[in-house]
Structures are given as C-alpha cells and as structure tokens.
Amino acid sequence: MRLFEYQAKEIFSDAGISVPRSELVRATSTSATVTEAASETGRVIPVDAEALAAEVGTAAGGLLEQCSRVVIKSQLLMGGRGKAGLIKPATSTDEAESLAREFASGPHKVRTMLVEQAVDIDRELYLSISANPESAELVILASVEGGVEIEQLAVERPDAISRIAVDINRGLQQYQARALAYELGLQQGAVKQFAGILNRLFLVFMDNDAELAEINPLFLTVSGELLAGDGKLMIDDNSLFRQPAFERTREYFDSDAEFEAAIEGIPYLQFSGDISLMCAGAGLTTTVFDLVHYEGGTIANYLEFGGPNYRNAGRAMELCLKNNSKVILIVTFGTIARADVMAEGVVAAINELKPDRPIVTCIRGTNEEQATETLKTAGLEPLFDTEEAVRRAVEIAGGDDL
C-alpha cells in the first residue's frame, strides 16, 4: 500500500525528520447527503473546485506571511508529478488559488493538495531504504545527486549512488550511518544531521512494516539544514493486519471497481479494452493477458478469482460486467481451486446476473470431467486449450466492430 506524500511526511515529522512547513487542504462536500453516502460506501465525492481553491488560497496566504514562495503539490499516488505539471510554485494568494482550480478541474480531478513553504536549496540529496531479496538484507541507497528518479540515476550516473547493506536482525549500526554520510562527501555539520535522519528513517521503515521508505529530494538548504522535500512510503500489504493506522479507502484507487475488488481481496486491474479476464492464479492470468495481446486483442480488466476467491465466481463476474467489455474470458487450471466448484460458480453467476455479453470458458484441473458436464448442461462450450480460448475471445471482440 503506497501512502500519499502528506501521510509519509506526517510519519517522518512524528519520527523527528524535519519537513518544510505546510498545510493540507482536502476537498469536502457541502451536501450532507453526498457526504453521508460517501462515508457509507467509501466512494469519492465530487470536487467543488471553487471551494477547494479558496481554501488553498487561505493556506498559501498564511504561509506567505513568513516566506516569499509556496509550492502547491497535488496529492496523487502517481510518480513524476513534477514533470506532469501537478506540482507548481506560487508567490501570491491569487496564483495559489488559480493553480488549485487548475489541478482540481484538470484530468486528475485532484482533491487533496499540500501547500508547502518553498525553501532555499543548496543541494538535493537522495535517501531510501528497501529490501534486497537475493541477499535477504535491507539496502540503503544515498546520493548527493538526488531530485531525479533513482532508476534513471542508476543508469546514467551509477557512481553517484552509495549503498550499504543492513542485517535486518541486527538493525542499522551507528558506524554505518556515519560511513554513508562520509561516502557522500558531506561537510562535518551535515554528517551528524544526515546520520540522525537515516536513523529515524530506519525506525520508520521497521515500525511501519514498510517495503520502501524514500526521501527524494532530501533538501540541503542554503543555511545547512536537511529537510525532507518529498516522502514515499510503501507499506507491506501482508503486514496491514498489524498496522491498523493504514486503512484502504477509495482515494487510493483509480476506479470504483479496483477499490471494491481490493476490499474483497480480489486482485483486479482496470484497463479500457474489449476483453474481461476472469482467470485463476496470478501467473496464469498474467500469461492470458500476454496471449490476448499477441492475438491482437485488448483487455478491459484483469481479474483473478482463484485461491481464496474460487467460490466467488458471482462477485468476480459482477465486477467484469461493470466494464464495457465485449466478452468475458474465463481460464483456470486449478488444484485446490477445484474445476467443478468453479464451473458451478460460473453457471450460477450466469443464471443470476444474466450477462449481456458472450462468455468463453476454459476450466481445467481437479474434477474437470464434472466441470465439463456442468458447463455443457448450461449450454456453454467448454474449451480445454488456453490459446484456443484466447483466440475465440479475440474473434468475438473483433466481430462486434464489423
């Protein structure tokens, strides 16, 4: 689960990592019924761009009493917000308001903005903690050439990145934090500050069951202070049961269907093509996704109903029917997710939901003879070859265009 910048910075700040002064502005609705409905379903309420702009203006006005420039930062989970024009500076209340209006009514319909004091920067550093699956250690990456994507820096200037490995059982040692600061060539005063920030970031990583904790850029100001200019914190989904502070709400997802599926534990991704995938197993679903593309088809949605969801064909089909897909393609090859149970589930779902589009079935695995009977009895044509099923679905999807 990826957190928003403002959440990461709140956690950093609570841990003692300095961040620029800022104020958070979130869209609210004036209509009580909309708010109530939204809180019940977790749905996103429509944004009132004018009200939001006014609040951003007020926040900017307050901050501008103590500095000459603020930055309006769209709170979205996508990377590259700066390049996409979703983070912009303002020097007056009016300018801040008009930026907020632009963000709120633009294609991203930004509903949460961080209004932050701009600081005078000497350098931009990079600092992150993540896991190295091969060595089973934590890896700390740091650079004095921050502010760009680390992947890009790794390709263009690999020597500019310093790294240390940390034993997860032993934890970060003080000598390691100091050694890294010296590797970066920091001045004496900054060494101690940097080591302090790294220590605190390490605690944030451990305490929050993070898979990634990143500060990029880490500002070194003209006055020699280190401040987190941005914050990226990704929490391990498998650990959410012991991290009650992080609740997945609608704002973390791109669509209603993705949100509903995630809450119910159904892996789901939204696309805009013709074929709804309703498959079992992560590897097989991904492969069917590839095969559809090889055959010239397009995907409406990726959905897995294997594993713990194999008795839940009805809900899976309901999610697929929310798309404007032209066909639903069902491919399974299950073990514990028995073929007969999945076939019965699919037939029951068809009877209940009366889908308005064709369904291609390729259901194999444990008890597949019974599954085949069930599908035939219901008037479906059971296929046994994945590639044949994919070709059939692509044909059906293409045929509608003729």
Partner 1 sequence: MSIFCDNSTQIIVQGITGKEGSFWTKHMVEMGAKVVAGVTPGKEGQEVAGVPVYHSVYRAVREHTADAAILFVPPRFTMDAVYEALDSGLERIVTIADGIPLHEQLKIRSAARASGAQVVGGNTSGVISPGRSMLGIFPYWIERVYKPGSLGVMTRSGSLTNEVTSMAVREGFGVSTLIGVGGDPVPGSRFAEFLPAFQADPETEAVLIIGELGGTMEEEVAQAMQAGIYTKPLVAFVGGQTAPEGKKMGHAGAIVTGGTGSVADKLAALETAGARVADRPSKVGALLKEALGR
Catalytic annotation, residues = 126, 214
242 or 354: CB nearest partner 1: 242
Residue 273-292 contact track with partner 1, rule CB under 8 A, x = bound: ------xxxxxxxxx-xxx-
Which residues within the stretch 116-145 sit at the binding site for partner 1 (CB under 8 A)? Answer: 131, 133-134, 136-138
Residue 289-318 contact track with partner 1, rule CB under 8 A, x = bound: xxx-xx-------x---xx-----------
79 or 85: CB nearest partner 1: 79
Question: How many residues line the site for partner 1 (CB under 8 A)?
Answer: 53
Q: Quote the CA–CA distance of 256 and 262 in Å, as a whole number.
A: 10
Which residues within the stretch 194-223 sit at the binding site for partner 1 (CB under 8 A)? Answer: 206, 209, 211
Which residues within the stretch 353-392 sit at the binding site for partner 1 (CB under 8 A)? Answer: 364-366, 386-387
The single residue among 94, 149, 373, 381 that binds partner 1, judged by CB under 8 A, is 149
Residue 156-175 contact track with partner 1, rule CB under 8 A, x = bound: -----------xxx------
The single residue among 10, 48, 236, 318 that binds partner 1, judged by CB under 8 A, is 236
For partner 1, the binding residues (CB under 8 A) are 79, 131, 133-134, 136-138, 149-152, 155, 167-169, 206, 209, 211, 236-239, 241-242, 269, 279-287, 289-291, 293-294, 302, 306-307, 332-337, 364-366, 386-387
